């Protein structure tokens, strides 16, 4: 399927990028493995096109082929890539070096692995300028910024200091105090600041095409929104076209005029963003529309506005009796950390400041906030992995600080965690059987035969085949690993499961599967969830109650429906408004389809 018939582009305009029947394959020990199959895509000057699909769909491989950076044994085996009328399918390394930066820029996915940790940020921006012969040259954009700062005219192509040029580029990318920041190193930046530095590098040479490969996937929604707003402003000002790679259809529709959906290396659907969302034709696109939390959150709000109490997008959410007791309560919880090497007021950091809330039995309470808000620290204190500086945690009215070692060990059976990273939370040296069986063995539950039967039962519960027992974590996908982590958490038949960003590292389709699994398990087993996340779209789907944290404090809490409909605090409103796709009309006439 092709994007050649693109109604959003001016008639008669020549394409900037034209991909025709592209085939990309990787050589393995068993032969060639096709990663991209017959893909077609057309991008016009100044246009933004989003390529959407889950991990392994071929979207990043497609982008890497365009810029000549296919990893390992990857090579183009068929089709053509034309950039500005030139066939670059099999261009030489020299030609690709000429194109990179000056004609085709790249903002890669993970800033920590794409910024050199031993070079300052400023040096890395300078490197991009020198590679393109632009060090010390003020283009019209930088000239305008410099003129506004100094109050004097600076003509384009005039020479300026390279350090000043770097500071202007970083400032243009939205970094405050850019001259000082340029002297700092990547580890001294937050995730959002590192991403802005990569944007400055990607746009330093004013490319005609910018490839943004999942540029904000690891960031909080509010930081994501600010960065993408700024990036869109920059590329509009420069007249740069953008190829935006993402797995979130809501984000794609919000940020791009045109959407290309990829599945198993093929383009299965393409068209104007609103049309693809309102009338998806391919079954895979319909699954993406159904699964994207950002779109599900929007559907829930639209349904509630139309008077529908509970929708199918609200996973496990059901009417709850008013007299349900609290299974867990935290009161005036405070945690202060000592900062090594610091002096004066900076010697201590108050990560959690006087936090109080309750969790009702059999419900899901979401603890929400940006990175650094203190929500994971609260979870660690609830799980007794950290001792609070002040305050108390109560389980069924019992103060956990009064328990001895034996009682605390027994408490582990009642409260179990599922951590964020399914790649880091499973021991790579343990088989899946040993991973899931370990809590049973530690708590001396059952004989070896009974434990084996329990592991098999748990794998059935999380919809994994029993043959997985003999495999190791590196042989499983991210979604399968997270199912194993959930099975391990359920091994001891807990009452409370603490889910710390348990779905944030997963694709939207896998994320939807895990959320549905958690909802089913809660219904079947009567579990209580404390769900820690920065993603309000996921919260809208799963939570009965919401607690919003900022800078270590609770700023707002209440029932999910009430909090989303009538947020009292500006910060809560900002979090809700930052959910991608909130402004997109999902239904042509604004109506909510009947269930």
**More confident site: 113 or 363:** 363
Q: Are 138 and 159 in contact (CB under 8 A)?
A: yes
573 SS3 class: helix
Cβ atoms of 84 and 278 closer than 8 Å: no
User: In this predicted structure, which of 309-313, 321-325, 492-496, 540-544 has the lowest mean pLDDT?
Assistant: 309-313
Residue 10 has what pLDDT? 52
Residues 6+ apart with CB under 8 A from 162: 126, 129, 135, 136
> Per the structure block, which two tokens stand in for 21?
């029947």
Highest mean pLDDT among 6-10, 30-34, 197-201, 233-237: 197-201
Place of tokens 């005039």: 158
User: Is residue 585 scored above 70 in pLDDT?
Assistant: no
First to last CA, the chain: 31
pLDDT above 90 for 435: yes
With 50 as the cut, is the pLDDT of residue 518 above it?
A: yes
Question: What is the mean pLDDT of the segment spanning 405-432?
Answer: 88
13-27, 116-130, 161-175 — which is least confidently predicted? 161-175
Q: Which residue has the higher pLDDT, 222 or 305?
A: 222
For residues 264-293, give the mean pLDDT.
89
Q: Pick left, alpha or beta for residue 384 (phi over 0 → left; psi -120 to 50 → alpha; otherwise beta).
A: left
Q: How far apart are CA 469 and CA 436, in angstroms?
A: 9
Task: Let me know: does 300 contact 541? Beta carbons within 8 Å.
Answer: yes
Quickly count: other Cβ atoms within 10 Å of residue 316's Cβ: 20
Decide if pLDDT at 262 tops 90: yes
For residues 350 and 316, the model is more confident at 350
Provide the CATH number for the domain formed by 326-427+494-577 in this structure.
3.40.50.300
> What is the residue extent of each domain of the chain?
1-103+207-291, 116-206, 326-427+494-577
Give the model's pLDDT for residue 517: 87
- pLDDT in the model for residue 157: 52
Token duo for residue 218? 């690891």
- For 265, half-sphere exposure in the C-beta direction (CA atoms, 13 angstrom radius) is 13
Beta strands in 163-238 (DSSP E): 209-213
pLDDT surpasses 70 at 225: yes
Contacts of 444 (CB under 8 A, 6+ apart): none
What per-residue confidence (pLDDT) applies to 254? 87
pLDDT at site 9 = 52
Percent of the chain clearing pLDDT 90 (strictly above): 40
How many whole angstroms separate alpha carbon 237 and alpha carbon 141?
Answer: 9
- The structure tokens listed for 30 are 């068993």
Per-residue pLDDT at 7? 44
Tell whether the model's pLDDT for residue 411 goes beyond 60: yes
The topology (CATH level 3) of 1-103+207-291 is Rossmann fold (3.40.50)
**pLDDT of 590:** 43
Residue 161: HSE in the Cβ half-sphere, 13 Å Cα cutoff: 6
- Alpha carbons 64 and 47: distance in angstroms, whole number: 19
Q: What is the pTM of this model?
A: 0.79
In the 8-state DSSP scheme, what is residue 471? S
């Amino acid at each position: 399927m092709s994007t050649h018939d693109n109604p959003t582009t001016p008639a008669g305009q020549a394409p900037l990028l034209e991909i025709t029947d592209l085939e990309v394959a990787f050589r393995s020990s068993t032969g060639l493995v096709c990663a991209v199959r017959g893909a077609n895509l057309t991008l016009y000057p100044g246009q933004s096109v989003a390529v959407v699909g889950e991990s392994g769909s071929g979207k990043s491989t497609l982008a890497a082929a365009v810029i000549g950076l296919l990893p390992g044994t990857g090579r183009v085996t068929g089709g053509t890539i034309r950039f500005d009328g030139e066939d670059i399918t099999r261009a030489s390394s020299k030609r690709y070096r000429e194109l990179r930066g000056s004609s085709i820029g790249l903002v890669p996915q993970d800033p920590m692995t794409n910024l050199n940790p031993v070079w300052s940020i400023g040096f890395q921006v300078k490197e991009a300028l020198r590679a393109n012969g632009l060090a010390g040259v003020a283009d019209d954009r930088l000239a305008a910024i410099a003129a506004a700062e100094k109050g004097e005219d600076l003509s384009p192509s005039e020479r300026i200091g390279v350090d000043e040029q770097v500071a202007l580029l970083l400032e243009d990318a939205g970094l405050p105090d850019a001259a000082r920041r340029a002297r700092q190193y990547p580890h001294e930046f937050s995730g959002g600041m590192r991403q802005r530095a990569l944007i400055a590098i990607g746009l330093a040479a004013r490319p005609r095409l910018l490839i943004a490969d999942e540029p904000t996937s690891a960031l909080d929604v509010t930081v994501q929104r600010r960065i993408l707003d700024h990036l869109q402003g920059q590329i509009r000002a420069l007249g740069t076209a953008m190829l935006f790679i993402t797995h979130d259809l809501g984000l794609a529709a919000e940020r791009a005029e045109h959407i290309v959906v990829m599945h198993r290396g093929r383009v299965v659907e393409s068209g104007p963003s609103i049309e693809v969302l309102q009338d998806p034709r391919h079954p895979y696109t319909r699954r993406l529309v159904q699964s994207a939390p950002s779109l599900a959150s929007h559907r829930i709000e639209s349904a509630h506005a139309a008077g529908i109490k509970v929708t199918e997008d609200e996973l496990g959410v059901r009417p709850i009796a008013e007299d349900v007791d609290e299974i867990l309560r935290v009161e005036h919880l405070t945690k202060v950390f000592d900062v090594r090497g610091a002096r004066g007021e900076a010697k201590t950091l108050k990560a959690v400041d006087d936090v109080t809330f309750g969790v009702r039995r059999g419900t899901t309470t979401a603890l929400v906030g940006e990175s650094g808000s203190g929500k994971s620290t609260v979870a660690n204190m609830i799980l007794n992995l950290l001792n609070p500086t002040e305050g108390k945690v109560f389980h069924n009215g019992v103060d956990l600080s009064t328990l001895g070692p034996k009682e605390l060990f027994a408490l582990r059976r009642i409260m179990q965690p599922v951590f964020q990273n399914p790649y880091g939370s499973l021991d790579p040296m343990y088989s899946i059987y040993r991973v899931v069986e370990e809590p049973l063995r530690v708590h001396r539950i059952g004989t070896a035969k009974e434990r084996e039967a329990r592991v098999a039962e748990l794998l059935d519960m999380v919809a994994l085949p029993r043959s997985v027992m003999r495999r190791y974590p590196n042989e499983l996908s991210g979604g399968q690993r997270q199912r194993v982590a959930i099975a391990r958490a359920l091994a001891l038949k807990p009452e409370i499961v603490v889910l710390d960003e348990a779905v944030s590292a997963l694709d939207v389709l896998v994320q939807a599967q895990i959320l549905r699994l958690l909802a089913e398990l809660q219904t079947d087993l009567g579990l209580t969830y404390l769900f820690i996340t920065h993603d309000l779209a996921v919260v809208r789907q799963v939570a009965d109650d919401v607690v919003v944290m900022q800078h270590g404090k609770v700023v707002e809490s209440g029932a999910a429906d009430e909090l989303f409909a009538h947020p009292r605090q500006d910060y809560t409103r900002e979090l809700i408004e930052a959910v991608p796709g909130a402004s997109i009309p999902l239904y042509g006439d604004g109506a909510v389809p009947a269930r």
